[in-house]
Structure 1
Amino acid sequence: MAEFERIRRAARLSVAPMMDWTDRHCRVLHRMLSRETLLYTEMVTSPALVRGGALHLLEFSPVEHPVALQLGGSEPDELAKAATLGEEAGYDEINLNVGCPSDRVQSGTFGAVLMRDPGLVAECCAAMIDAVDVEVTVKCRIGVDEQEPEDVLPGFLDRVAGAGVARFAIHARKAWLQGLSPKENRDIPPLDYDLVLRMKERFPELHLSVNGGITSLDEAKGFLEAGFDGVMIGRAAYHQPSDILSRADVEIFGAGEASDPVGVARQMLPYIEAHLGTGGKLGQVTRHMLGLFAGKPGARTWRRVLSEGAHKPGAGPELVEEALGHVIAAAT
């Protein structure tokens, strides 16, 4: 239980799982910015792990802890096996995706479409809880399509909590499964933070994190002060990682000290060297670093140097040093 409490403390602030973005290189960068924040993988499907044997999808660096594996699936036995693989790989938490609205996810009968079947979600979670010792959590929406969130969300939380889930991250928007793209599903349905807060009042024993449309550390602090147990930030943490994460340890966790983006860029150099040494490409890492100086002097040149040079043959850490030189010069 002490381990559960450690991860729950980290969940005061988390970076949302985001397909094509929160890969292992992105998570190392985020960990350099914040030692405390809980990080999530991209969604990994249980069929890919269990039937496809794609265990490379579970690879991560030990520096990433605390880090959670997000799974997508809807078959209880298969999810239990996938969760076991995740636990064996060393993840601190297993999270079930009940929020992604993409067509590809719907065709696999998982993601946000599962909001329609809380009984199946409960069955899936119970199977995973039985299979692993790390905490099993759920990331969900407030409803889908014509559902009335005020009516369906309490029943969903009650049913899934009854299976043993005690921690939820709730994206405070409906998902429209037909007629809106995944991108539009992040912007068009209105946010209802008040509804999610009422769920905290209704289920005080649950650990609830709010997600969706949160763009600053100050906003995150406001949600915590309002009564939420945690705040999950997605796109802002990716596009302006320093703004969200560099002071998170101090302001959210009351620990450590603020990180310096220049120092973080330099901390990434040994990691980049090691990645290149295994046959990796510079751009696989630096694409996640483009927003490191967002809004600061030299940011545009930093992005240009990395964007134009990272994919050239032989590109390595010296390109990052060159780009960093422009940032330092612009700041003086």
Structure 2
Amino acid sequence: MPCTATNKAARLSVAPMMDWTDRHCRFFHRQISGQALLYTEMVTAPALVRGGALHLLAHDPREHPVALQLGGSDPAELAQAARLGHEAGYPEINLNCGCPSDRVQSGSFGAVLMERPELVAEICAAMIAASPAEVTVKCRIGVDDQVPAEILPRFLAAIRDAGVRRVTIHARKAWLQGLSPKENRDIPPLDYPLVMAMKAKFPDMHISLNGGIDDLDSVIGLLDTGLDGVMVGRAAYHRPWDILAQADARVFGLAQPAQTRADVVANMLPYIEAQMTQGARLAQITRHMLGLFAGQPGARQWRRVLSENAHKPGAGPDLLEQALGAVAQAA
């Protein structure tokens, strides 16, 4: 099993989430945990290879450990995209075999690839041959009428034989017909025991579990079962402090530097100023920070100050100081 920085960091990761885990979100999350593995939003191989949209690969080196997630279904194109991702500085390239959206299905990739394990194996082999970056896969336990206990081991065996040694399994089926992407995140039942059984069946693979994890205690409990990693999605976005603030100590066993939410805000200010100098708008960054005080006195005031004012002309980093003041008054 590869022993890489991302492999170690995958003990806890923040899921790739479209429209959410952009570079500003990742930089913000990195201020809370120095160790958790962060993922980009899915970037399609055609956008990079045919569209030349290399700006989608832009990121700050301080985001590391960070991985690039790619979407696509053409082995040659994905190989070229993986090479571009490596050249842009990503040490891990992850293949999306789990997204159930209509747009992804129309491109014959994402969760629909669960129906074609042999093609996924061909894709992974091509990506591995094209780039020294570690190639990983994120998948579902199956789609539509597939029997997960039958298809998942076949799928894992195929990608393992192609050279993949790390996989993240979203422990739900995806229903490509009849459920929306949002419903696919909640309605199909979770099957954690099946994912744990796959770890027993494939001990040479690093297996992370994704789906339905809502707090850090659950992360620890799942790791204690023998899983190699846990990936958290929406909870890490909406309540980043709850998931990430103690992660370096509790998940990675490192000394946890004492810091407050206000310290995180202070650490973001130079970044915000630099990004705005380069043309970013304040709201593009602060929209990812709205959940920083979730569950705390003043959380509503924090959200209101930022959401009502960050988009206004002339809004700048001082707005975050104003929002902190509103939190302090409410506490």
Matching of residue 319 in structure 1 with residue 303 in structure 2:
no
Q: Which residue of 2 aligns with 1:250?
A: 249
Provide the residue aligned with 2:297 in structure 1. 297
In 1, Cα distance between equivalents of 2:261 and 2:106: 41
2:156, 2:260 → 1: CA distance? 40
The CA distance in 1 between the partners of 2:297 and 2:231, in whole Å, is: 28
Aligned to 2:273: 273
- CA deviations on 1:9-38 (whole Å, 9 max, x unpaired) are 100000000000000000000000000000
Cα-Cα RMSD: 1.0
TM-score, normalization by structure 1 = 0.98
The alignment partner of 1:288 has SS state of helix
Match of residue 73 from structure 1: 72
Shift of 1:190: 0.2
Alpha-carbon distance in structure 2 between the residues aligned to 1:256 and 1:140: 33
Q: Could you tell me whether the CA contact under 8 Å between 2:73 and 2:123 is conserved in 1?
A: yes
Q: Judge conservation of contact 1:101–1:112 (CA < 8 Å) in 2.
A: yes
Residue 10 (structure 1) aligns with: 9
Residues 25-174 of structure 1 mapped to structure 2, 5 A cutoff: 25-174=24-173
3-state SS, counterpart of residue 173 of structure 2: strand
Q: How many residues align?
A: 330
For residues 139-174 of structure 1, give each alpha carbon's deviation from its aligned partner in whole angstroms, at most 9, with x where no partner exists: 000000000101110011001110000000000000
Query: Equivalents in 2 of 1:317, 1:22: separation in Å?
Result: 21
Alignment of 1:190-201 (within 5 A): 190-201=189-200
Aligned residue identity for 2:95: L
With structure 2 as the length reference, what TM-score do the two structures score? 0.98
Cα distance between partner residues in 1 of 2:124 and 2:15: 20
**1:246–1:261 Cα contact (<8 Å) kept:** no
| Cα distance per residue 1:70-105 (max 9 Å; x no partner) | 000010010000000000000120000000000000
Output the CA distance in 1 between the equivalents of 2:256 and 2:318. Answer: 28
Give yes or no for contact 1:65–1:92 (8 Å, CA) kept in 2: no
Mapped to 1, the partners of 2:11 and 2:236 lie a distance apart of 14
Q: What is the distance in 2 between the residues matched to 1:52 and 1:6? A: 31
Gaps of 5+ in 1: none
Describe the superposition over 1:3-62 as per-residue Cα deviations: whole angstroms up to 9, x where unpaired.
x43221100000000000000000000000000000000000000000000000000001
Residue 227 of structure 1 is matched in structure 2 by 226
CA distance in 2, matches of 1:59, 1:124: 24
1:313 & 1:152 partners in 2: Cα distance? 53
Percent identity at matched positions?
Answer: 68
SS for the counterpart of 1:63 is helix
> Unpaired runs of 5+ in structure 2?
none
- Distance across 2 between alignment mates of 1:254 and 1:327: 31
